[in-house]
């Protein structure tokens, strides 16, 4: 991986890379429980199994493949777009607008990107709902990463190349420490 010398002054950052889920909105909104419920339902529909069996498969594929979707693609030839559309069909009413975050994002120098294991449409729906979509220059989603999730180091290299990012002048904001290691 590239040099990760920390910036001495955050005002010198040229690129801000934000995770989406549980980063741009609080985890207390509990959106992931909806996504998880939808993943289990997708597996129930696909494999015609009981709820607990589907839930166990979902967890197993996540552990073994990094995402449930990759496990479904590998074992059942699932089309990823169909899965992503289904699992991200969620109610955003629990996600409050955050005028303080909006103001802080306005003051950050440089480009702002979203780097998510979700889909672009999911990121667009959430940032639009939050009123933050105007802050972000682009989204690097699971499709752009060829369905390989964070924290695979190759995905970070793809992100860096695609957006011509200098890691030494970039800041990554992420809710999961394991995704900051690569």
Query: Closest by alpha carbon to 170, among 32, 23, 4?
Result: 4
Give 5's pLDDT tier (boundaries 50, 70, 90).
low
Q: Which two tokens stand for residue 149?
A: 């999730």
Give 4's pLDDT tier (boundaries 50, 70, 90).
low
Cα distances (Å, whole numbers) of residue 44 to 8, 28, 63, 140:
50, 27, 19, 29
Give the sign of the dihedral formed by CA 145, CA 149, CA 154, CA 157: positive
Give the sign of the dihedral formed by CA 110, CA 116, CA 121, CA 123: negative
| Sequence spans of domains, the chain | 10-26+97-180, 31-87
Q: Which two tokens stand for residue 160?
A: 């860096």
pLDDT of residue 1: 46
CATH number of the domain located at residue range(s) 10-26+97-180 in this protein: 3.40.50.1000
**pLDDT over 60 at 18, yes or no:** yes
Query: Closest by alpha carbon to 130, among 146, 141, 151, 114?
Result: 114
Q: For 122, which DSSP code?
A: H
SS3 for 69-120 is: HHHHHHHHCCCHHHHHHHHCCCCCCCCCCCHHHHHHHHHCCCEEEEECCCCH
CATH architecture observed for domain 31-87: Orthogonal Bundle (1.10)
pLDDT tens across 137-175, in order? 999 999 999 999 999 999 999 999 999 999 999 999 999
The rounded distance, in Å, linking the Cα atoms of 48 and 55 is: 12
Query: Closest by alpha carbon to 170, among 115, 102, 88, 97?
Result: 115
Using DSSP, state whether 84 is helix, strand or coil.
helix
Residue 134 makes CB contacts below 8 A (sequence gap 6+) with none
pLDDT tens across 28-44, in order? 999 999 999 999 999 99
pLDDT tens across 50-68, in order? 999 999 999 999 999 989 9
Is 115 in contact with 18 (CB distance < 8 Å)?
Answer: yes
pLDDT of residue 6: 65
pLDDT tens across 86-140, in order? 999 999 999 999 999 999 999 999 999 999 999 999 999 999 999 999 999 999 9
Percent of the chain whose predicted confidence (pLDDT) is above 90 = 88
């Amino acid at each position: 991986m590239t040099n990760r010398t920390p910036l001495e002054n955050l005002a010198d950052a040229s690129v801000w890379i934000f995770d989406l889920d549980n980063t741009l909105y609080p985890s207390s909104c509990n959106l992931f429980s909806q996504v998880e419920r939808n993943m289990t339902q997708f597996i129930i529909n696909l494999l015609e199994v009981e709820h607990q069996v589907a839930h166990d498969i979902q967890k197993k594929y996540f552990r073994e493949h990094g995402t449930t979707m990759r496990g479904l693609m590998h074992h059942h030839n699932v089309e990823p777009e169909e899965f992503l559309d289904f699992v991200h069909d969620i109610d955003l009413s629990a996600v409050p607008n955050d005028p303080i975050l909006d103001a802080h994002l306005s003051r950050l120098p440089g480009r702002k990107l979203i780097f998510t294991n979700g889909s672009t449409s999911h990121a667009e729906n959430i940032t639009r709902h939050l009123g933050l979509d105007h802050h972000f220059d682009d989204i690097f989603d699971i499709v752009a990463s060829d369905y390989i999730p964070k924290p695979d180091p190759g995905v970070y290299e793809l992100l860096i190349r695609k957006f011509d990012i200098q890691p030494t002048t970039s800041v990554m904001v992420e809710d999961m420490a394991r995704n900051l290691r690569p």
